[in-house]
Chains A and B, each alone.
Chain A
Amino acid sequence: QQQVKQSPQSLIVQKGGISIINCAYENTAFDYFPWYQQFPGKGPALLIAIRPDVSEKKEGRFTISFNKSAKQFSLHIMDSQPGDSATYFCAAASGSRLTFGEGTQLTVNP
């Protein structure tokens, strides 16, 4: 049972474009929603995170949009760069336990 569903599985965008990755969750007990970025051969690293009491959080080119009523959240990467090419995971936390989405492999073409 996948409690956090992520789409798309893969995404190709041109340099300068906007990358959008979507996630949906089921468990209303989740209270923290991080996004992790993973480069090949490395462990995931925290990119940005949001709590359900806000609808949007922006850090540089990365923005999380959160819709509590729809139980959905998304990551927007503005002005996408080739260096952003990586796998992105959304996650949802209940206490200290994280449940991850399936991952999105992002490729930004020069």
Chain B
Amino acid sequence: NAGVTQTPKFQVLKTGQSMTLQCAQDMNHNSMYWYRQDPGMGLRLIYYSASEGTTDKGEVPNGYNVSRLNKREFSLRLESAAPSQTSVYFCASSGLLPPLEQYFGPGTRLTVT
């Protein structure tokens, strides 16, 4: 079992460029999440998908879009990258039943210059 995988691990973008972060899980989880982690701010929820076919905004959705491609895959797209989006991005997944533990991927370190 690979758990939650994310690609790429590192990315450098210029302001205005676009890119898609990929996430996949092999635990048959229904719910998937995208977070960003910034120093001193913990992890903040960008978007989440409670089940295949649904997506909802989290705490900091501006500048991002998501696609729940199927039950396994949940992608995060930056249409026009800004320096404020420099961060470490984590994908996570969880099942439907308690204890609702979220399993995290290894992260993508994104730098926007």
Contact = CB atoms under 8 A, between A and B. Distances in A.
* Same complex origin of A and B: yes
A101 B43 CA distance: 8
A84 interface: no
A108 B110 CA distance: 30
Contacts of B40: 9, 102-103
B26 to A, nearest CB: 15
B41 A102 contact: yes
Interface in A62-110: 89, 93, 96-103
Contacts of A4: 42
Contact of A44 (B99, B100, B104): B104
Contacts, number: 55
A9 B40 CA distance: 8
SS class of chain A's interface: helix, strand, loop or mixed?
strand
Nearest to B99: A49
A103 to B, nearest CB: 5
Report the contact-size class of chain B (Cβ under 8 Å from the partner). 20 to 34
A97 B45 contact: yes
A3 to B, nearest CB: 9
Interface in B41-100: 41-45, 48, 50, 58-59, 90, 92, 94, 96, 98-100
Contacts of A93: 100
Given A49-B101, A96-B50, A43 B42 contact: no
Report the contact-size class of chain A (Cβ under 8 Å from the partner). 20 to 34
A54 to B, nearest CB: 13
Contacts of B96: 96
Nearest to A46: B101
Given A97-B58, A102-B42, A103-B42, A43 B98 contact: no
30 contacts: A4-B42, A9-B40, A34-B99, A41-B106, A42-B106, A42-B107, A43-B92, A43-B105, A43-B106, A43-B107, A44-B43, A44-B90, A45-B103, A45-B104, A46-B102, A49-B99, A49-B101, A89-B42, A93-B100, A96-B48, A96-B50, A96-B94, A96-B96, A97-B45, A98-B43, A98-B45, A100-B42, A102-B40, A103-B40, A103-B42
